[in-house]
Structure 1
Amino acid sequence: MSAFLSMTRTLCVLLVAPVLGAAAPGAPPRLEEVVEDTFSGVERVVAVGDVHGDVEALKEVLRLAGLIDAKDQWTGGKTHLVQTGDIADRGARTREAFELMMRLEREALAAGGRVHLLLGNHEVMNMRGDLRYVTPEELASFAGLEATPDAPGAPKGLEGHRAAYGLEGRYGRWLRSHPAVVRIDGTLFLHGGLHPEVPAKTLGALNRWTRQDLFPDAAPGGGTDAKGPLWFRGYAQEEEALWSQGLDAVLERFGARRMVMGHTPTKDGRIGVRFGGRAVLIDTGLSTYYGRHLAALEIRGDRLTALYPDGRVSLLTPGVKQGAGKPAAGKAASGR
């Protein structure tokens, strides 16, 4: 029986791996492809915010959460890891972070868990050729991936970067196979926030609208829209009274009890809770660029816990009312 189960699990990995690792050769990704966005019956979820090229900080926080070992191998078992986007930019080691996440997707799946990499505004910016926040060191790390050499006088790695993020490039193919928003049991995970006026009534439609900006000849979509799930900051930055009803409406529309977001760094480098626990802010400034404030969010049912190097802190406990939180603050930049 154990041999049969092992063989069955291996077969499942082989069948699902092409969806999770779109870097494999074959037909280019298509907008019409359905990406998984809804999961249920998950005992433990760990969510990690913006990485911004700091692969060592990412590894450290994954070890803190018990998801990888000293050799960076998956040890999380059936845990679902959610990374809410913005692995790219501001740091030099984006490629290493991508490669780590690509491998952990496969290892987690084989162990009965999952890794959910979500699109952030910086991934979309890179796929669309907006390089405002790509450091020279990060750009140079893409050298060697190009089909044609860099033009004389051009920054090193420019053509390799363009090829890697392209529709058929190693990272472009992979990223285009991922959603912007997932729901795991009663929690929505995304990069920025969901404005009440987003033109979608289902997660499938929402993710398609967001991914439209990543495919040629598609209509403008939510990947660049200020009200889209990669950019909106209202729940993180503005007074709760302005957005409480809108947040409730969005959560009801998409069948969730709370929303977990990155994108807007918290003022104190700690995970923030707002709107009585209906909004959780997990961009603590993980990367060295933002101060290297290591943190992860753990969800077990309705029990939310912040994981820090100095210990665990209960954020939400079933039956205990959560008070209102203050708006988050941090380095504000148009592309953040």
Structure 2
Amino acid sequence: MNISYLRNFSCIYFLIIIWKFSYVYNESYSNIKWEHDLFSISDLHSDLDALKKTLLTENIIDEENNAIRENVFVIITGDVLDPAYDDIEILYFIQNYNIKAKPLNSKIQLILGNHEVQNICLDFIGNKKYGEEYKARNKLFKKGEVLYNYLLDLPFVIKVNDILFSHASILPYYAKRGIDYINDEGRSEIKNNCTLLKFKRKTGQRFCVCCYNGPTFNRYFSRAAEMPFRREVCKSLFKTLNKLSAKKLVNGHTIQRNRKVNEYCKGGLIMADTGISKWKYGVINYVQYFQDGSYKVNYINSDI
């Protein structure tokens, strides 16, 4: 198990403090207008190399990890964290990039997935073999710590132009409250290492962003891949899109059986998790979105 994040903790702290002063937090992610290059990357699950390969392929960074391309917006749809390998290094890398890229009007935006929620809730315990290392790791996510504060400021759902991005399904029940409400309530749930979330789970509260029906965990829309369910799933999806004034929803979370990015519901749903991480299936993909509503799926080091 790689615990290099402990060695780099002071660097992470320094960079994020700088970032706090250099970047104004965007409290609303409900209607971002972007006229330049737009990309999304699905679940990285600790694979920093996959992230770098993607950015290098598009000349977003150079071999020394410097930001070199102007006007680029990259969205990572959650599940960067896994309690092993390079996951903390990815957070370090993203923030380092955002500091360097700000003068270029470029940015990487991370969305919270269920793995980020589990970390901030201190739910990743690990097995007995790595017990002490996981215990040390959990300290990095405790209330008031740098990584806790960083994750607490991240959104669960964002809309760029007319495209929604979230880790998992946004059911109509959630969509009717709006993106800002979802993000604000989700943030409240994970505050104080998930005090409210644990209460909601215990009492069975229906509106719970970080519970199993919420947009960090729910897999309902992924069932569009199954013909018996497609009609009802798409009907539900279209309700969500209508309520949030969007034309597409991009999700990760559910690895696609054919290891390809798949489109369902007349183009309204893009399921983009191909198992990018070398510790999953190693099928590296990213999606580029264009102003005319079209998009292009790109694969790296794959026969697909």
Give the structure-1-normalised TM-score: 0.74
Counterpart in the other structure of 1:304: 295
Contact 2:175–2:244 (8 Å) recurs in 1: no
1:203 aligns with 2:176: no
Unpaired runs of 5+ residues, structure 2, are 1-18, 201-206
Contact 2:162–2:248 (8 Å) recurs in 1: yes
Unpaired runs of 5+ residues, structure 1, are 1-12, 21-33, 140-154, 314-336
Distance 1:271 1:295 in 2: 8
Distance 1:35 1:70 in 2: 34
Cα displacement (A) at 1:163 = 2.1
* 1:222 paired residue among 180, 197, 208: 208
* 1:175 paired residue among 138, 151, 154: 151
Cα displacement (A) at 1:136 = 8.2
Counterpart in the other structure of 1:232: 218
SS in 2 for 1:289: coil
Counterpart in the other structure of 1:271: 261
1:19 aligns with 2:25: yes
Counterpart in the other structure of 1:23: none
RMSD of equivalent CA atoms = 2.5
Range that drifts further, 105-114 or 257-266: 105-114
Cα displacement (A) at 1:43 = 2.1
SS in 2 for 1:156: helix
Distance 2:90 2:237 in 1: 32
1:283 aligns with 2:269: no
Contact 1:58–1:286 (8 Å) recurs in 2: no
Contact 1:260–1:281 (8 Å) recurs in 2: yes
Distance 2:88 2:239 in 1: 38
Counterpart in the other structure of 2:14: none
Counterpart of 2:272 in structure 1: which amino acid?
A: I
Counterpart of 2:288 in structure 1: which amino acid?
A: E
Contact 1:200–1:206 (8 Å) recurs in 2: no
1:160 aligns with 2:136: yes
Distance 1:127 1:170 in 2: 11
Encode CA deviations 1:1-54: one digit per residue, 9 max, x unaligned: xxxxxxxxxxxx88652638xxxxxxxxxxxxx354431033221100101111
Mark the CA change 1:81 to 1:208 in structure 2 (over 3 Å): closer, same or farther. Answer: same
Distance 1:158 1:290 in 2: 21
Find the structure with the greater CA-based Rg: 1
* 1:293 paired residue among 275, 283, 287: 283
Flag the structure with higher helix content.
2
Distance 1:14 1:95 in 2: 18
Counterpart in the other structure of 1:42: 35
Cα displacement (A) at 1:223 = 4.0
SS in 2 for 1:297: strand
SS in 2 for 1:104: helix
Range that drifts further, 218-227 or 288-297: 218-227
Counterpart in the other structure of 1:119: 112
Contact 1:50–1:84 (8 Å) recurs in 2: yes
SS in 1 for 2:287: strand
Contact 2:175–2:240 (8 Å) recurs in 1: no
1:67 aligns with 2:67: no
Distance 1:188 1:61 in 2: 21
Encode CA deviations 1:268-307: one digit per residue, 9 max, x unaligned: 2221111111001111111012111010000012120011
SS in 2 for 1:38: coil
Contact 1:85–1:119 (8 Å) recurs in 2: yes
Give the structure-2-normalised TM-score: 0.81
* 2:241 paired residue among 226, 248, 251: 251
Distance 1:167 1:18 in 2: 22
Range that drifts further, 51-60 or 85-94: 85-94
